[in-house]
Amino acid sequence: MYRSARKIHAGPTLTLVGLAAVLLAACSPAAGATVEITRMVEGTPQTVVITATPGAAAGSIAMNGAGATFPFPLYSRWFYEYAFVDSSVKFNYQSIGSGGGIKQITEQTVDFGASDAILNSDQFAAAPGIQMLPTVAGADVPTYNVSELKDQAPLVLNAEALAAIFLGRITKWNDAAIAALNPGLPLPDKDIIVVHRSDGSGTTFIFTDYLSAVSEEWATTVGKATSVEWPVGLGGKGNEGVAGTVSQNDGAIGYVELAYATQNKLAIARMVNAAGNVVAPSIETTQNAMADFGGDMPDILARSIVNAPGNNSWPIAGYTYLLVYMDQTDCTKAAKLQAFIHWALTDGSPFAQDLQYVPLPEAVRDQVFARLDQMTCNGGPIS
């Protein structure tokens, strides 16, 4: 087992802009340095005391990764915080989408990949020995910009309406199917502008996985993947591209991950779930979706959790995964990667909740730890 030298009492809450500034401005602490960070929780200051562990020169071991944008806010936070635990490691992560992450780890140009999409049989075959390791779960959310709905109650959609919008079947905001779900909302006779990801994206995989689960037409004509042939709409690169296109076009609707929507104060639609209840995306409703599918993972440590049947479960949810090779070639990096993942899933868990992600159930986490213990380096044990 891999134990962190750090004790967490509370985690500071940083905006993405603030976090980016810190990441750019801060240097890793010297070995043995103690740092205090204060946060406000319900008006009360709480302090984190962080002590760096002695080790190699600060940042001397570069750990390169690439992939999913879905967990990028959390991974950025984890990489920043981990510098206080082991200052010898510097993480460089390219948030280029799950498709790019799968490609780079397959080509072995990075030390780890990241994906919200579950690898298919061809992708597993192209990367012998690759392992998916779930880290957290999160929610995809529909986000919209309709001027007439500002300062109104949140829009409500169901599976049929959402699929019909993205298929181009529903083209006006005052369509009868939307109006029936939103009595009293001033829905305008305005064109719906669909916005989707233009890059290969795990956020897209989760979203299209859901649409495939609830719409036979979607499943047979479009399907689920990190990148699909969209029937209609404008493309935007990354969560920021989708959000920017939605915010610049009155009448637009798109999808992003919850942490991004919350940080950027985007309008978020509620959904009618599989049980027929209107639910909002949250840590609790995403956690409910995870629980609906049970604690144990299949052998690949990956599963879909969309369209969960529970009464209070968010329907567009998914795990996100790190992609690593079970037999590593750089033994120093292998040991550092093991230690980081163990820290992230234990001491790093409070930061996940700060950013609207859901930590793994204990049973799933234990499966990840067991698989980590089976990693090797050049065929031998990792010391």
Phi-psi region at 84: left, alpha or beta (left = phi > 0; alpha = psi -120 to 50)? alpha
Q: How many CB atoms lie within 10 A of CB 160?
A: 15
- The pair of three-digit structure tokens given for residue 179, joined into one six-digit string: 């109006």
Using the CB atoms, write b or e for 118-130: b if 16+ within 10 Å: bbeeebbeebeeb
CA distances from 357 to 70, 195, 200, 320, 323 (A): 10, 24, 21, 10, 19
Model confidence, pTM: 0.82
Domains of the chain: 16-138+318-381 (3.40.190.10), 139-292 (3.40.190.10)
Give the span between the Cα atoms of 170 and 277, in whole angstroms: 22
Give the span between the Cα atoms of 232 and 209, in whole angstroms: 18
The tens-digit pLDDT sequence of the chain (383 residues) is 443 333 333 333 333 433 433 333 334 343 333 333 333 333 344 443 333 334 456 668 999 999 998 899 899 999 999 999 999 999 999 999 899 999 999 999 999 999 999 999 999 999 999 999 999 999 999 999 999 999 999 999 999 999 999 999 999 999 999 999 999 999 999 999 999 999 988 999 999 999 999 999 999 999 999 999 999 999 999 888 999 999 999 999 999 999 889 888 999 999 999 999 999 999 999 999 999 998 789 999 999 999 999 999 999 999 999 999 999 999 999 999 999 999 999 999 999 998 989 999 999 999 999 999 999 999 999 97
Give the span between the Cα atoms of 256 and 241, in whole angstroms: 10
Angle at CA 339, nearest 5°, toward 32 and 302? 150
3-class SS string, the chain:
CCCCCCCCCCCCCCCHHHHHHHHHHCCCCCCCCEEEEEEEECCEEEEEEEECECCCCCCCEEEEEEECCCCHHHHHHHHHHHCCCECCEEEEEEECCHHHHHHHHHCCCCCEEEECCCCCHHHHHHCCCEEEEEEEEEEEEEEEECHHHCCCCCCEECHHHHHHHHHCCCCECCCHHHHHHCCCCCCCCCECEEEEECCCCHHHHHHHHHHHHHCHHHHHHCCCCCCCCCCCCEEECHHHHHHHHHHHCCCEEEEEEHHHHHHCCCCECEEECCCCCEECCCHHHHHHHHHHCCCCCCCCCCCCCCCCCCCCCCCCEEEEEEEEECEECCHHHHHHHHHHHHHHHCCCHHHHHHCCCEECCHHHHHHHHHHHHCCEECCEECC
Q: How many CB atoms lie within 10 A of CB 377?
A: 17
Looking at the DSSP assignment, which residues form a beta bridge with residue 133?
322
